Amino acid sequence: MLYLVGLGLADETDITVKGLEVVKRAERVYLEAYTSILHVGRERLESFYGRPVIVADREMVESASDEILDGADKDDIAFLVVGDPFGATTHTDLVLRAQELSIPTKSIPNASILNAIGATGLQLYNFGQTVSMVFFTDTWKPASFYDRIRENSSIGLHTLLLLDIKVKEQSLENMARGRKIYEPPRYMTVSQCAQQMLEIEQEKQENVYSENSLAIGCARVGADDQKFACGTLKELCDVDLGPPLHSLVLLGKRAHELEKDYIKKFAVNEDTFEESWDKYHERSR
Amino acid sequence: MLYLVGLGLADETDITVKGLEVVKRAERVYLEAYTSILHVGRERLESFYGRPVIVADREMVESASDEILDGADKDDIAFLVVGDPFGATTHTDLVLRAQELSIPTKSIPNASILNAIGATGLQLYNFGQTVSMVFFTDTWKPASFYDRIRENSSIGLHTLLLLDIKVKEQSLENMARGRKIYEPPRYMTVSQCAQQMLEIEQEKQENVYSENSLAIGCARVGADDQKFACGTLKELCDVDLGPPLHSLVLLGKRAHELEKDYIKKFAVNEDTFEESWDKYHERSR
């Protein structure tokens, strides 16, 4: 059996009792380490589980899936995923490959950012579709997020933006020369996300949002040191929320007064917060 | 400290290791038992935790919150919530009351239906706002869900409908006479939900969906015996998915071919599935 085990969001104790039982009895334990990260390293997991953990990078999952699945028809293999196994779409290939080989699969659910974002005080019922924001390069600035935000905004809903992480990436030069030398990991910050959002609005000028739109910058959601900063996109361009992972919520116009009462304690600037709220959001439903 | 501890979706082993540590050391342990249910009873939890669990019904949480919070300024109190603590909005009052009393609060996240619904094979990125469906009575048929579905559908997104549960409710007569006699618990089924949806469409005639719209009926999501049935709303009116909890996903028109490949194995009728898909959904993005 291939088990996809959700690890939750923060540290080694966020695994469920059911998940831990799987890890303890599995033949091999892999840790998916390229779509998200825990706030503790492999060593901490290994000492908590009392057994070795194999870090699976993108290359291994994409090109050596049969190695991961080896023996899974007889024994249990655990594939650990930060958050919830359904949060990232990247494991679908592994599951489909398992099915081709007639290997049964099972998921052990856990918390994901999609519900933990409720810690902002925003109601989960008021969120539209979730979108991803990738690192722009000089020549590649994918803006499909802009259309998705427009759709959510058109019906007054909040948008959760999940921010890019780059782990074990090669530079173009190293890739061209076939050198397996990897760049240091990069994690997009709230500030970078706000800047990229404004860059695209500047370019498109379709008023999907503006410098004055209210948003909440979120860092390390689900961990003891989680941090939120509520402000305009312009204010969030200058905010520093510390270590990864970051995400951002753009408020929908239908935001409720009860939500306001909760989020104002995260205001970057209490004076501008009230003003922005009154300007850019309907008073209540 | 007041801890809101998510229990996950199925049984006693879905609690996280972190949550279990809180339960073991807390002064008192309450179980919120009126917005959702686990598939195991209080006795099973008590024997797993090795300590007593106080069942907190709606009345207790709403009118005796100070009793729950008693001593929480010095000791830890655990308030257990099925799924994730942020899934239900009903605990906000308890948290706000704790804050008034200067009692710190903390949430221990867990899986919720909002991400576990990914087990259908539908992409979580393609869901719009989540809506609730309550039991209709002869005189009360709240239809705000219809407008929410319209909004999601207008941008092609899936809608997750969470279905009503009635636990420890009084009949009107018993309520009027002040008799604390409670009706047997009721849990809305996929079939009832599909019928209520069609009843409102029939009444409004605004073509937000129809008898032929594709949906997935979901039962006991996250448990070993979770079950899905994919069919038209008309087909789902006659489907029996067994014990609670149930939920339903109405497919958005933007559903992707990859999602189709996954959900067709849940088809109530494989012949009509292909036909319905072709008729009611765009082929791909």
Mean pLDDT of A61-71: 90
What is the ipTM score, two decimals?
A: 0.91
Q: Please tell me what DSSP assigns to residue B14.
A: G
pLDDT at A103: 96
Confidence of residue A33 (pLDDT cuts 50, 70, 90): confident
- The beta-carbon neighbor of A111 closest among B6, B125, B157 is B6
Report chain B residues whose CB lies below 8 A from the CB of A92.
258
In the annotated binding site of B, the residues are 9, 84, 87, 112-113, 163, 221, 246
Which of B111, B134, B169 is the last residue in one of the domains? B111
Q: How far is A168 from chain B (nearest CA, A)?
A: 25
pLDDT at B146: 98
Residues A203 and A172 in one domain: yes
pLDDT at B140 over 60: yes
The pLDDT > 70 percentage for chain B reads 97
Which of A75, A94, A111 is the last residue in one of the domains? A111
pLDDT at A281: 66
pLDDT at A245 over 80: yes
Q: Which of B117, B49, B120, B115 is nearest to B78 (CA)?
A: B49
As a dihedral over the C-alpha atoms of residue A169, residue A171, residue A175, residue A176, rounded to 10 degrees, the angle is 160
Report chain B residues whose CB lies below 8 A from the CB of A36.
none
Q: How far is B70 from chain A (nearest CA, A)?
A: 24
- Asked whether the beta carbons of residue A109 and residue B116 sit closer than 8 angstroms, the reply is yes
Residues B173 and B102 in one domain: no
- Asked whether the beta carbons of residue B111 and residue A6 sit closer than 8 angstroms, the reply is yes
pLDDT at A89: 62
pLDDT at B89: 62
pLDDT at A283: 44
Segments of chain A assigned E as strands:
2-6, 28-32, 54-56, 77-81, 105-108, 131-133, 159-163, 165-166, 186-187, 214-219, 227-232, 246-250
Residues A253 and A209 in one domain: yes
Q: Please tell me what DSSP assigns to residue A16.
A: B
Taking only residues 5 to 34 of chain A, the set having a beta carbon closer than 8 angstroms to any beta carbon of chain B reads 6, 8-9, 11-18, 20-21
Confidence of residue B15 (pLDDT cuts 50, 70, 90): very high
Q: Which residue has the higher pLDDT, B142 or A37?
A: B142
Q: How far is B174 from chain A (nearest CA, A)?
A: 33
- Asked whether the beta carbons of residue A8 and residue B21 sit closer than 8 angstroms, the reply is no
Cα A138–A139–A145 angle (5° rounding)? Answer: 95
- Asked whether the beta carbons of residue B115 and residue A84 sit closer than 8 angstroms, the reply is yes
Residues B202 and B139 in one domain: yes
Mean pLDDT of A128-133: 96
Residues B54 and B193 in one domain: no
Q: Please tell me what DSSP assigns to residue A251.
A: P
| CA B166 vs CA A161, B59, B169, B244: distances in Å | 35, 13, 6, 12
In the annotated binding site of B for S-adenosyl-L-methionine, the residues are 9, 84, 87, 112-113, 163, 221, 246
pLDDT at A276: 85
Mean pLDDT of A31-52: 90
- Asked whether the beta carbons of residue A127 and residue B123 sit closer than 8 angstroms, the reply is no
Among B129, B146, B151, most A C-beta atoms within 10 A, so best to mutate, is B129
pLDDT at B229: 98
Residues A62 and A197 in one domain: no
- Asked whether the beta carbons of residue A84 and residue B111 sit closer than 8 angstroms, the reply is yes
Confidence of residue B178 (pLDDT cuts 50, 70, 90): confident
- The beta-carbon neighbor of A127 closest among B118, B129, B131 is B129
Residues A66 and A160 in one domain: no
Residues B132 and B105 in one domain: no
CB pairs under 8 A between A and B: 137
Mean pLDDT of B138-156: 96
pLDDT at A285: 36
Domain count, chain B: 2
pLDDT at A284: 40
Residues B43 and B134 in one domain: no
pLDDT at B281: 66
Residues B41 and B136 in one domain: no
- Asked whether the beta carbons of residue B17 and residue A21 sit closer than 8 angstroms, the reply is no
Which of B80, B111, B142 is the last residue in one of the domains? B111
Among A5, A9, A16, most B C-beta atoms within 10 A, so best to mutate, is A16
Q: Which residue has the higher pLDDT, B90 or B137?
A: B137
pLDDT at B176: 87
Cα A270–A272–A275 angle (5° rounding)? Answer: 115
User: Closest chain B residue to A127 measured between Cα atoms?
Assistant: B129
Report chain B residues whose CB lies below 8 A from the CB of A130.
124-125
Q: What are phi and psi of A59, to 5 degrees?
A: -60, -45
Confidence of residue A96 (pLDDT cuts 50, 70, 90): confident
pLDDT at B118 over 50: yes
Residues facing residue B215 across a β-bridge? B231, B250
Residues facing residue B160 across a β-bridge? B249
Q: State pLDDT tens for residues B196-213.
A: 999 999 999 999 999 999
As a dihedral over the C-alpha atoms of residue A182, residue A185, residue A188, residue A192, rounded to 10 degrees, the angle is -70
Q: Please tell me what DSSP assigns to residue B91.
A: G
- Asked whether the beta carbons of residue A157 and residue B18 sit closer than 8 angstroms, the reply is no
- The beta-carbon neighbor of A111 closest among B17, B84, B222 is B84
- Asked whether the beta carbons of residue B128 and residue A125 sit closer than 8 angstroms, the reply is no
The pLDDT > 90 percentage for chain A reads 72
pLDDT at B283 over 70: no
pLDDT at B232 over 80: yes
The boundaries of the domain holding residue A121 are: 114-282
Taking only residues 120 to 179 of chain B, the set having a beta carbon closer than 8 angstroms to any beta carbon of chain A reads 123-132, 151-152, 154-155, 157
pLDDT at A7 over 80: yes
CATH number for the domain including B24?
A: 3.40.1010.10
Report chain B residues whose CB lies below 8 A from the CB of A18.
11, 13-14
- Asked whether the beta carbons of residue B17 and residue A18 sit closer than 8 angstroms, the reply is no
Residues B98 and B120 in one domain: no
Report chain B residues whose CB lies below 8 A from the CB of A110.
8, 16, 110-111
Mean pLDDT of A211-234: 96
Confidence of residue A233 (pLDDT cuts 50, 70, 90): very high
Average predicted confidence (pLDDT) for chain B:
92
Confidence of residue B257 (pLDDT cuts 50, 70, 90): confident
Mean pLDDT of A98-106: 93
Residues A144 and A266 in one domain: yes
pLDDT at A14: 97
Bridge pairing between strands B159-163 and B246-250: antiparallel
pTM higher than 0.90: yes
Q: How far is B178 from chain A (nearest CA, A)?
A: 33
- Asked whether the beta carbons of residue B87 and residue A16 sit closer than 8 angstroms, the reply is no
pLDDT at B284 over 60: no
Average predicted confidence (pLDDT) for chain A:
92
Provide the CB-side half-sphere exposure for A257 (13 A, CA).
3
CATH number for the domain including A198?
A: 3.30.950.10
